[in-house]
Structure 1
Amino acid sequence: MKRNILIIGGGGVARVVAHKCAQNNAVLGDIHIASRTLAKCQAIIESVHEKGSLQRAGTLQAHALDAMDIEATKFLIRATRSQIVINVGSPFLNMSVLAACIETGAAYLDTAIHEDPDKVCEAPPWYGNYEWKRRQACKDARVTAVLGVGFDPGVVNAYARYAMDTHFDSVESIDIIDINAGSHGRYFATNFDPEINFREFVSTAWSWEDNAWKANAMFEHRKDWDMPVTGLSTTYLTGHDELHSMSKNLGVPNIRFWMGFSDHYINVFTVLKNLGLLSEQPVRTARGQEIVPLEVIKAVLPDPASLAPDYTGKTCIGDLIKGHKNGQPQEVLIYNVCDHKTCFEEVGSQAISYTAGVPVVAAAMLIADGTWDIGEMANVEELDPVPFIALMNRMGLVTRIRDAQGDRVVEPEQEEVDTLASSQLLQYG
């Protein structure tokens, strides 16, 4: 059993994580929130109290921390007696926070892959460039590190694993589809950190095709999908974190990621890119100041957390999986629909933050009770998806499946019982 949580980060996802940890503090214990900006952490704590999210009375405390400082992070982990660290700060922090966890013995969780501030869209596999290099160190220290356990990456990895285990004998393709059909009412904004958002799209879009990496230009490949609730939506083939582990761990020859973009987003993005304003490399102004254009754009765009009060509409994110079962073609869509307004009413955040924050808390709870406390590093598809999906169903992210039998809620624990019973009938007649 592990207890006491240190949340690193002070943005919209951290807010969701804090609320969900508070709602489950009987299991998780003390909750500490740390960020470079103490006021952000204090505002999250005020929100938790305002919403009455604490399951029971307990510690909920804010701390100022530069998480790039490994020694300072180690000190805070020990001082708070935190046995689980949830890193929902900038992806630039991952390797520093992971190092602190390995050295203190705390379990580590994050929701996105590590990034080097001076590089964009590196050669795949991205995990191989950073996190996986610490795999042996985690194993030697018996430290559980679950990588990329937001929604995408994270839940979509578990969806693929679950569907492959229960609905297929073989799989030829997995298309991960991310649709945000919501509206925030601003002229232009990104749903999460603008710097991280733009870095995903300014260079090569990698896909996994015929068991090999394929380089594509951003917005080169377009496809329309008719998704539940959100309807017909236009998407573009995009590189994304989960492809880099799923391609290694699942043995599927084709894995692609499709994200929905409006024409307006593409037009603004294209202008900014063509003007050089999305560059991560510094430039010198006429006054002799050195600035990074991408950081300027981040500074002038709305804070994604500020979008939540006016956000309406829904998201739909899922995996469309094609393969064979009992020699017959099989197609399954396993997905979640989330409502922006409902998320704001519950935790004060929009659905993009909610879908990233709930899964990492579910994972923390599975580590706390020992289910996922494996004492080594893993990506989500390497872990049992059944308790994860079942727990998220109870925490606000309900999983549904659409196949030849219809559209229904996934109840994995019951399906596992039914499958076992069927196999016993076949075995014993």
Structure 2
Amino acid sequence: MKKNVLIIGAGGVAQVVAHKCAQNNDVLGDIHIASRTLSKCDAIIETVHEKNAMKVAGVLTAHQVDAMDTPAVAALIRETGVQIVINVGSAFVNMTVLDACIETGVAYIDTAIHEEQDKICETPPWYANYEWKKRGLCAEKGITAILGAGFDPGVVNAFARFAIDEFMDEVTSIDIVDINAGSHGKYFATNFDPEINFREFTGTVYSWQNGAWQENAMFEVGHDWDLPVVGTQRAYMSGHDEVHSLSANYPQADVRFWMGFGEHYINVFTVLQNLGLLSEQPVKLADGGEVVPLKVVKACLPDPSSLAPDYTGKTCIGDVVKGIKDGAPVEVFVYNVADHKEAYLEVGSQGISYTAGVPPVAAAMLVATGEWDAKTMKNVEEMDPKPFFSILDQIGLPTRVKDANGDRAWNA
């Protein structure tokens, strides 16, 4: 059994991870939080104590580290004696943290595909550009690396696997639908790191259709989805992490990702993009200095974690999976609904951070008990989804299924 966890990152998602690790420290053991800014780690620890979140008495400690520095991360792993690293830092640090885990022989879990700061929307499949290149080394050294174990990617990958295994002989399409029907009350803000948020939507939209990569422009393809709890919502086909692993594991299926956007968001985004303010490339100023426009926009927008106290409404995220069963067409929607206010009251974060932060803790618990200790590199859909759903049910993100027989809990 693996115990003792190092959390990399100190943003809104890391706060959720810290609270959930604390609530389950009888399984996970000692908890360490590390970031470049020690005060942010200390602030998270303070919220954990304020909520009396520790299930049993134990270690909860802050550390300062540059996650881009592999030797420094490896040294911290050895110093703390952790056996599981949950990386919820920027997607820019995935490979350096993964390398530190491989070097020290500990399990690695992340929530998104690695990105390079000076590149946007590289040629797919994105995992193959970075993480998958380490797959052979993980297998050789017996290192467990669970990739993309947030909600999307992550839980939605497990939704797809579950729907296919339980309801179909053959899968024909997987449509991941992410709707945030909540309101934060700000003129304009992003629900997670603005730099990462905008980078997702400024490049080519890649989907996997008819056995090949298809390219579209952002906001080119929209669809109205009729969903439980949140009703009919407009969503647009977007490029997203999970399409790249699901298309590799289910190449016979069309795989698309849809995200909900309001007209106001689209209008502001379009103006920023047309002005060049979403560029990741530096521009020269009149005085000879340089700035990166995207970083300037990020600095001007509200910190996503600051949205939590006033956030209301719900999210609905799930997979519409279609296929064939006994020669007849079948369709199933596997999904979760989360509440922003409930998330804030429990862990002090808004619902988007909550849905992203709870799943990697569930994955860590499965690694700790051995059920997901794969001793190689895996994407979430390559793991048994049922124990994952069982823990998610217990710690705050219940899974539901809607099909021709009605709407029910996944295990009903």
Report the TM-score, using the length of structure 2 for normalisation.
Answer: 0.99
Partner residue in 1 for 2:376? 376
Q: For 1:350-378, what per-residue CA distance to the aligned partner results, in whole angstroms no more than 9, with x for missing partners?
A: 11001111100000000000000011000
Matching residue of 1:301: 301
Whole-angstrom distance in 2 between the partners of 1:270 and 1:101: 40
Residue 390 of structure 1: how far off its partner (Å)? 1.1
Counterpart for residue 229 of structure 1: 229
Task: Kindly provide the amino acid, as one letter, of the partner of residue 17 in structure 2.
Answer: V
Give how far 1:226 is off.
0.7
- Residue 296 (structure 1) shift: 0.5
Structure 1 match to 2:93: 93
Aligned partner letter, 2:43: A
In structure 2, the residue matched to 1:331 is 331
One-letter amino acid of the structure 1 residue matched with residue 259 of structure 2? M
For residue 213 of structure 2, what is the aligned residue in structure 1? 213
The aligned residue for residue 245 of structure 1 is 245
Q: State the distance in 2 between where 1:289 and 1:196 align.
A: 24
CA distance in 1, matches of 2:119, 2:241: 15
Partner secondary structure for residue 109 of structure 1: strand
**Who is 2:22 aligned against?**
22
Counterpart residue type for residue 336 of structure 1: N
Shift of 1:329: 1.3
Structure 2 partner of 1:8: 8
Deviation, 1:26, is: 0.6
Counterparts of 1:69 and 1:256 in 2: how far apart (Å)?
A: 35
Structure 1, unpaired ranges of 5+: 416-429
CA distance in 2, matches of 1:138, 1:85: 15
Q: Mapping of 1:277-288 within 5 angstroms?
A: 277-288=277-288
The residue type paired with residue 141 of structure 1 is K
Quote the offset at 1:252 in angstroms: 3.4
Deviation at 1:49, TM superposition (A): 0.3
Letter in 2 for 1:215: E
Rounded Cα–Cα distance in structure 2 between residues aligned with 1:217 and 1:160:
25
Report the counterpart of residue 67 of structure 1 in structure 2.
67
Superposed displacement of residue 186, structure 1? 0.3
Structure 2 partner of 1:424: none
Match of 1:193 in 2: 193
Cα drift, residue 342 of structure 1: 0.3
Are 2:264 and 1:264 aligned? yes
Q: What is aligned with 1:421?
A: none
Aligned to 1:126: 126
1:284 to partner: Cα distance = 1.0
SS in structure 2 at match of 1:32:
strand
Give the match for residue 162 of structure 1: 162
- Match for residue 178 of structure 1? 178
Question: Which residue of structure 2 aligns with residue 137 of structure 1?
Answer: 137
Post-superposition Cα deviations, 1:280-300, rounded to whole Å, max 9, x if no partner, equal 000111121111000000111
In structure 1, how many angstroms separate the alpha carbons of the residues matched to 2:42 and 2:186?
A: 27
Instruction: Specify the code of the residue in structure 2 equivalent to 1:220.
Output: E
**Change beyond 3 A, Cα 1:378–1:305:** same
- Whole-angstrom CA distance in 2 between matches of 1:16 and 1:337: 17
What is the CA-CA distance between 1:324 and the residue it aligns to? 1.3
Q: Give, in angstroms, the shift of residue 250 of structure 1.
A: 2.1
The code of the aligned residue for 1:256 comes to R
**Partner secondary structure for residue 331 of structure 2:** strand
Give the 3-state SS of the residue equivalent to 1:242 in structure 2.
Answer: helix
CA distance in structure 1 between the partners assigned to 2:211 and 2:311 by the alignment: 40
Q: Which AA in structure 1 matches 2:129?
A: N
Q: Map Cα deviations across residues 185-215 of structure 1 (whole Å, 9 max, x no partner).
A: 0000000000000000001000010111001
Read off the aligned partner of 2:264 and give its amino acid letter: H
User: 1:116 and 1:175 mapped to 2: Cα distance?
Assistant: 27
Q: Give the CA deviation at 1:149.
A: 0.3
Secondary structure of the equivalent of 1:367? helix
For residues 243 and 391 of structure 2, the distance between their equivalents in structure 1, rounded to whole angstroms, comes to 24
1:251 shift after superposition: 3.4
Q: How many Å separate the matches in 1 of 2:185 and 2:287?
A: 36
Question: Which residue of the partner structure matches residue 50 of structure 2?
Answer: 50
Q: 1:393: which partner in 2?
A: 393
Measure how far apart 1:327 and its partner are: 1.4
CA distance in 1, matches of 2:258, 2:85: 30
The alignment partner of 2:247 has SS state of helix
Q: CA deviation at 1:264?
A: 0.3
Whichever residue aligns with residue 268 of structure 1, its letter is: V
| Unaligned segments of structure 2, at least 5 residues | none
1:203-262, Cα deviation, whole Å (9 max, x unpaired): 100001011100110100010001110111010000000000000012332010000000
1:124 CA displacement: 0.3
Which letter maps to 1:44?
I
1:409 equivalent in structure 2:
409
Q: How much has 1:7 moved relative to structure 2?
A: 0.1
Query: Structure 2: how far apart are the matches of 1:67 and 1:175?
Result: 34
- Once the two structures are TM-superposed, the CA of residue 137 in structure 1 deviates from its matched residue by 1.0
C-alpha displacement of 1:56: 0.7
> Are residues 1:292 and 2:312 paired?
no
The residue matched to 1:280 in structure 2 has which SS? coil
- The 2-side partners of 1:171 and 1:373 are apart by 28
Question: Does residue 41 in structure 1 map to residue 41 in structure 2?
Answer: yes
User: 1:427 maps to which residue?
Assistant: none
Match of 1:418 in 2: none
Cα deviations by residue, 1:398-424 (Å, 9 ceiling, x for unpaired) = 00000011000112xxx7xxxxxxxxx
- Single out whichever of 283-292 and 153-162 deviates more from structure 2: 283-292
CA offsets 1:70-116 (integer angstroms, 9 cap, x no match):
11000000100010000000000000000000000010000000001
C-alpha distance in 1, partners of 2:336/2:253?
25
Matched, 1:349 2:349: yes
In the other structure, the counterpart of 1:80 is 80
